[in-house]
């Protein structure tokens, strides 16, 4: 079977039983295994045989990791031997909608190892390069299920869908949100999303971070309850020269209103 001619048309003409015989051959050409993965009659049993075949190329394993069923995905994620064959396998796994947080964590661990350098700075640069090379689908999956380090990279992604997925991740913490709210290199849509989340609108530290961030849209800042700030907070906002003039002016107006005597006060009036 190992000497069979490699042809897409030839493989398409084979029955399921013939494909099973082919992938069970220990001497089969790796290129044939690569082609068999994509055949329409291929099922979980054939995929598993290809996955476990010693001659299967990493690119074929990546196809299985990207489109395989949950049962195979679990096997790949729990096998360091398979994951460490090539970073593309872990990257493909991130794009599989069946991947669980445990699967993603396993893939991340391998990618982190691949990115390891002689220093922490080298490692972070390598991790950034690996994440940058991911497809949009892989980035979206990583933003949702990945760890803090991955989110801090993806929240700055040029693709706003990816950045927003990172900030909406169910795994993100309040401390991360506070840090992101102070960032000046994230999309305005990210800051707007944070401001629109009820959970964070009631967090005074996050609110102040957004108000003092010059990247926060003016309309967003004006809706963050400047009038509810303490005298000290509103005074600091009025003196912040880095934020839009409209925001600091609104803070100054709050101060002026508070200083103005109310009805019934000495010297007061309507």
Residue-wise pLDDT for 190-205, tens only, equals 999 999 998 898 899 9
Among residues 162, 223, 226, the alpha carbon closest in space to that of 189 is found at 162
Residues composing the chain: 270
CA distances from 232 to 170, 203, 204, 213, 226 (A): 34, 17, 13, 18, 12
Structure tokens, 149: 């380090």
Per the CB < 8 A criterion, the answer to whether 268 and 238 are in contact is no
Per the CB < 8 A criterion, the answer to whether 145 and 101 are in contact is yes
Whole-number Å distance between alpha carbons of 108 and 235: 45
CA distances from 74 to 48, 63, 77, 78, 171 (A): 12, 15, 5, 6, 21
Task: Tell me the three state secondary structure of residue 77.
Answer: helix
Q: What is the DSSP string of 45-71?
A: HHHHHHHH-TT--HHHHHHHHHH--HH
Task: Tell me the three state secondary structure of residue 194.
Answer: helix
Whole-number Å distance between alpha carbons of 216 and 240: 14
Helices 70-77 and 87-94 meet at what angle, rounded to 10?
A: 140
Among residues 29, 23, 55, 28, the alpha carbon closest in space to that of 42 is found at 23
Per the CB < 8 A criterion, the answer to whether 72 and 64 are in contact is yes
What local confidence, expressed as pLDDT, does residue 260 receive? 81
Whole-number Å distance between alpha carbons of 51 and 207: 50
Whole-number Å distance between alpha carbons of 73 and 109: 16
Whole-number Å distance between alpha carbons of 233 and 248: 12
What averages of pLDDT result for each successive group of 10 residues across the chain (270 residues)?
A: 50 80 89 85 89 92 92 92 88 89 88 64 69 89 89 95 96 93 95 94 92 96 95 94 95 92 48
What local confidence, expressed as pLDDT, does residue 262 receive? 62
Whole-number Å distance between alpha carbons of 14 and 26: 19
Per the CB < 8 A criterion, the answer to whether 198 and 204 are in contact is no
Backbone angles phi, psi at 191, to 5 degrees: -65, -35
């Amino acid at each position: 079977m190992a000497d069979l001619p490699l042809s897409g048309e030839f493989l398409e003409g084979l029955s399921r039983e013939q494909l099973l015989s082919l992938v069970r051959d220990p001497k089969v050409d790796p290129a044939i295994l690569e082609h068999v993965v994509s055949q329409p009659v291929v099922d979980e049993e054939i995929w598993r045989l290809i996955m476990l075949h010693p001659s299967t190329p990493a690119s074929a394993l990546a196809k299985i990791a990207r489109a395989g069923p949950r049962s195979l995905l679990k096997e790949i994620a729990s096998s360091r031997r398979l994951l460490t064959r090539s970073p593309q396998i872990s990257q493909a796994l991130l794009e599989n909608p069946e991947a669980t947080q445990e699967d993603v964590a396993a893939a991340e661990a391998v990618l982190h190892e691949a990115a390891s350098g002689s220093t922490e700075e080298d490692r972070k640069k390598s991790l950034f390069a690996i994440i940058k090379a991911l497809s949009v689908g892989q980035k979206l999956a990583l933003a949702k299920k990945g760890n803090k380090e991955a989110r801090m990279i993806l929240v700055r992604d040029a693709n706003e869908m990816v950045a927003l997925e990172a900030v909406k991740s169910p795994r993100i913490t309040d401390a991360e949100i506070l840090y992101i709210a102070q960032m000046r290199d994230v999309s305005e849509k990210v800051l707007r999303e944070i401001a629109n989340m009820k959970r964070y609108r009631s967090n005074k530290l996050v609110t102040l971070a957004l108000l003092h961030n010059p990247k926060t849209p003016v309309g967003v800042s004006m809706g963050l309850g400047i009038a509810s700030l303490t005298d000290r907070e509103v005074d600091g906002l009025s003196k912040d020269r880095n934020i839009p003039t409209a925001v600091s002016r609104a803070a100054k107006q709050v101060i002026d209103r508070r200083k103005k005597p109310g009805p019934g006060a000495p010297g007061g009036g309507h």
